[in-house]
């Protein structure tokens, strides 16, 4: 059970990182 919660956290964190990278990319292109 704990592993599942940790996995969900990891997925959310990686998703957030991806969003941040996309935003940085947009800033760089301007």
In this predicted model, what pLDDT tens digit does every residue of 1-30 receive, in sequence order? 688 888 889 889 898 999 999 998 988 877
Q: What is the pLDDT of residue 17?
A: 92
The CA distance from 21 to 28, in Å, is: 10
Listed in order, strand segments (DSSP E) in the chain are: none
User: Running DSSP on this structure, what letter comes out for residue 2?
Assistant: H
**Residues 17, 15, 20, 13, CA torsion sign:** negative
Residue 29: its pLDDT value, please?
79
């Amino acid at each position: 059970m704990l592993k599942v919660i940790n996995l969900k956290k990891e997925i959310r964190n990686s998703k957030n990182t991806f969003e941040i990278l996309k935003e940085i990319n947009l800033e760089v292109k301007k």
